[in-house]
Amino acid sequence: MIICTLCRRREAFFFRAYSGERLCRRCFCLSIERKVKTAISKYGMFEPDDRIAVAVSGGKDSLSLLHILSKIEKSFPKATLTAVIVDEGIKGYRDEAMKIAKKNCEKSDVGHIIVSFKELYGYALDEIAEMTEDTKLTPCSYCGVLRRRAINTAAKLAGASKVATAHNLDDETQTALLNIIHGDPIRILRVKPMLDPIQPGLVQRVKPLCEVPEREVALYAYVKKIAFQILPCPYSGSALRNDVRGILNRLEEKHPGMKYTIHRSMEKIRSLLEQSKLKTALSDCEKCGEPTVGKICQTCQILEALKRGRT
Ligand code: SF4
Ligand code: ZN
């Protein structure tokens, strides 16, 4: 029997190549929770009296995050937790995810708020996908922008002071590489574990899973018997992101710890960019008043384009 490196008592079931540890189930789960707590304190993500909204999709990442945060929250009696669930309107996919999400909220004794694309924007994502079939953009490009706004709207409805999303280490490194590929320094600056505070109209976003590899989040959900949706979204991710994911996974396999190395390198690049004159100040969108980098926010641009396509 191979013994756990940490407790030296129980049988190891997982080999963590980047640290050389062999872990039993219990020590593995504790190590994941520790990684989350470390990220929370390293980036100063929460105050003891924060009203936290967790964006819950029904997938393994967001449900593991809900599980971990509801555990942590118990030690902070003044903090509150609410799940926000966005119904994008994806037939045969989102309905199941929402059921699973709601069940998990009940189990963790966390209240929830649901907002839908149809209610907020007048269109379900299925309708948008149909209307934009002939354009270059994929449904994910629309979904990403509209979903971000919907989460912010729901978080405001919940009276939240922070909104936690379930981006893991893999998501963060993929986004970092994509931003480099697109030569987008502003996004390199803005996409980080904790968004800059005090942007009026935006509930501050934090990513407590940013230092947990995707594979380990999945394993955590499995060991903790968290029921999550397995069915992939019919529109799935963009082709380029999928390629970047493949490259990063191959790199990680050959050079364990590579994702952490990229994550740390991005922190250094970001801190240098922060010292430069690059500005990311937000102003109010001329149409809806929500914060935006340009004059008209991406949500309004999308909704205008959809309206034009219809009329
Ligand atoms: Fe939205 Fe794309 Fe994610 Fe599906 S895969 S939920 S369309 S971003
Ligand atoms: Zn152990």
**Is 154 contained in some domain?**
yes
Mean pLDDT (whole number) for 50-71: 96
Q: Tell me what the pLDDT averaged over the chain comes to.
A: 92
Closest by CA position to 233, among listed 88, 65, 55? 88
For the CA of 22, the nearest ligand: 2
| H/E stretch holding 251 | helix 239-254
| Per-residue pLDDT at 75 exceeds 70 | yes
Structural domain containing residue 97: 36-278
Mutate to test the pocket of ligand 1, among 233, 236, 238 (most ligand atoms within 8 A of CB): 233
Question: The whole model's pTM is what?
Answer: 0.92
Backbone angles phi, psi at 167, to 5 degrees: -65, 125
Those residues whose beta carbon sits under 5 angstroms from the ion ligand 2 are 4, 6-7, 10, 24, 27
Tens digits of per-residue pLDDT, 257-291?
999 999 999 999 988 888 876 666 677 888 888 77
What per-residue confidence (pLDDT) applies to 162?
96
Residue 278 has what pLDDT?
Answer: 64
8 Å CB contact between 118 and 89: yes
- pLDDT class for 163, splitting at 50, 70, 90? very high
Find out whether the beta carbon of 144 lies less than 6 Å from any atom of ligand 1.
Answer: yes
Question: Do 67 and 96 belong together in one domain?
Answer: yes
- Indicate whether 273 and 289 sit together in one domain: no
Do 116 and 250 share a domain, yes or no? yes
Q: What is the distance between the alpha carbons of residues 283 and 6, in angstroms, rounded to a whole number?
A: 50
pLDDT at residue 311 above 50? Answer: no
The DSSP-derived string for 103-162 is: HHHHHHT-EEEEEEHHHHHS--HHHHHHHTTTSSS-HHHHHHHHHHHHHHHHHHHTT-SE
Answer whether 237 contacts ligand 1 (Cβ < 6 A): yes
Same domain, 255 and 310: no
What integer is the mean pLDDT of 162-184? 94
Are residues 285 and 197 part of one domain? no
Nearest CA to ligand 1 atom 6: 233
